[in-house]
Structure formats: C-alpha cells, structure tokens
Amino acid sequence: MTPLRQRMIDDLRLRNYAPKTITVYTAAVEKFARFCGQTPDRLGAEHVRRWQLHLLDERHVSWSAFNIAVSALRFLYGVTLGRADVVEKIAYGKRPKTLPVVLSREETARFLNTPTRLRDRTLLATAYGCGLRVSELVRLQVPDIDSSRMLVVVRQGKGRKDRVVPLSVKLLDLLRTYWRARRPPRWLFPGKPEGGHLTVPAVQRLCQQTRRQAGLAKRVTPHTLRHSYATHLLEAGVDVPTIQKLLGHGDLATTARYMHVRSERLQSLSSPLDLLDGLFDASPPAAERPSAGDPS
C-alpha cells in the first residue's frame, strides 16, 4: 500500500466514513491513477477532466457511478492533498430526476405471497413491512425485533444513524414462525460462510426471481419494496415528516418526492378534457380511409 493511499484511508477513518465508502473511494482513486499512469499527487484538474470524459464516453458509467468517482477525487484533493484549486474544477454530474417504481397494494400482496420458502417470504415481508434499505435488512439481528414494544431497531443505517420503525402484527407472527423453524443464532437472515449474514446480491436475485414467478411486469428490486412502503404510508394519510423519520432520510426533500407518485391523489383529479361540455356527444366518427393519392 502506498503512503498516499494509507493517508487517504486514515483521513476517511478520522471522519468516521463507513468501511464500504472507504473501499469504494480508494478503488475509484486507484482506477484514476491507473488510467493516468501516475500517482494522483502528480496530477491536476486537466487529468481529472480527461478521466471524467473517459468514464462517460468510453465506459458509459451511470451518473451515480460518475458522481461517486467525483466524490472520491474531491475528497482526495480537498482533504488528503489540500489542493482546493483542483477541487473547485471537479464538477458533479446532474443526475436525471426519475420517479421511483411503486407497486400497488394488490401487486405487493401478490409479490409477497409468491415465495414458497419460509425464509424468503419472511425476508421480503420484512423488507416491505419495515421499509428497509437492503443493507439494513441483511444486517438485522434477532434482538433487533422488539416484540414487547412492537418496534424494529435499525442499527447504523445510512449516515451511521440508528432508528426504530413500527413492527407489524402480521410480520411479528411470520417472524415467530420463521424463528421457531430456523432458530437463527445471531443474524436474523444467516448466510454463508458460517456466522455471516445473507448478502445484498442474494436478496437482489431473490427479488428478480420472485417478480418473474409472480408475473409482474414492473421491475422489482429491494428498493422497490421500500418505495412502495413509503408511498402506501402516504396514501394511508401518514404525514411526510413522519415518513422521513421511518425511512431514515436526512433531507425532507428526498421523502417529498413520494408525493409525486401518490396514485390515490392523482386518480382523484379530473383532466380538463373531462370538463368540456358537449364534447364527443355525437356518435364517434367513422374510421378514415386513405384516399387514392394518400401516400400512407
């Protein structure tokens, strides 16, 4: 390990960055250095610009991946190397704003009823019933299920924050059945190797498999269940600040976007077309046929 890499890792640790973030940032800097063929302390803003264009034009990375690379380089130059002149020239990419995919209540029930394995059904029900991120889901431990207070404790979620979410009565019954059958010693959803928890890719694959078996046309990921949880709460009348706390969002604006996919509110609105009097009262026009000279 080079002294520069070690110093960057130390700087990240001193600021209490998550281990996963440290790994991702250092990997991004390593790829940048390999592309340029020199150590980053000998490189400048123009080299970073060439790297950014390479990411977009040659590697066709997503805007999320692009901005992760930007964050890593801004930390390297801004904190570890103390070169503010370079940082101010490293631009973030403007991410497209898209609406999250949300399942209807009927689609959610169909999806959750599809798995035949008790472990899989409990896992997906917990993801939806608590609105968890997939990383939070796989790291749940048996003591995190507080049945006496009907709460689930989410430990060290995004931003290194603990929070609690309500525990559904139906989910508690399912969890008790699952626990009696499997008796997980530590992690609620154990994985391999022995003593570890289930991996994020395993949950993602389960969602894809379950979607196909359920015959759903929508793309379903673990985060789709979280989106659906938030939207269904909003449709049930729960206010946005409360949903923000349940989801563990740091910014209210992040939670507020669910208002744009609230189907109950949208379905109650009328189109201006429906307000026009006398429109289409007559019998519908006959189907038009192209004339002889019509090229269509």
Tokens for 168, please give them: 């559904």
Does 241 fall in a domain? yes
pLDDT computed for residue 66 by the predictor? 95
Asked if 112 and 259 sit in the same domain, the reply is yes
Catalytic residue among 47, 121, 226, 232: 226
- For residues 173 and 126, give the distance between their C-alpha atoms in angstroms, rounded to a whole number: 12
User: Does some domain include residue 286?
Assistant: no
Residue 158 annotated to the active site: yes
Co-location of 179 and 226 in the same domain: yes
Could you list the residue range(s) of the whole structural domain that residue 14 is in?
3-87
Annotated catalytic residue within 5, 7, 110, 223? 223
In the chain, the number of structural domains is: 2
The catalytic residue among 74, 133, 197, 232 is 133
Determine the average pLDDT of the residues in 269-275: 64
Q: Dump pLDDT digits (tens) for 180-207.
A: 999 998 999 999 888 899 999 999 999 9
20 is catalytic: no
- In this prediction, residue 260 has a pLDDT band, given cuts at 50, 70 and 90, of low
Question: Which helix (DSSP H) or strand (DSSP E) does residue 20 occupy?
Answer: helix 19-36
Cα 286 to Cα 180: distance, rounded to the nearest angstrom: 67
Residue 264 has pLDDT above 60, yes or no: no
Whole-number pLDDT of residue 193: 80
Catalytic, out of 158, 182, 257, 262: 158
63 plus 171 within the same structural domain: no
Is 119 tagged catalytic? no
3-class DSSP assignment, residue 155 = strand
Whether residue 223 lies in the annotated active site: yes
pLDDT at 262: 60
Is 249 catalytic? The answer is yes
Cα–chain center distance at 150? 26
Asked if 144 and 231 sit in the same domain, the reply is yes
Query: Is 94 among the catalytic positions?
Result: no
Distance CA 48, CA 61 (A): 16
Q: What is the mean pLDDT of the chain?
A: 87
How big is the chain by its Cα radius of gyration, in Å? 25
The pLDDT tens digits for 116-140 are 999 999 999 999 999 999 999 999 9
Using an 8 Å Cβ cutoff, are 48 and 86 in contact? yes
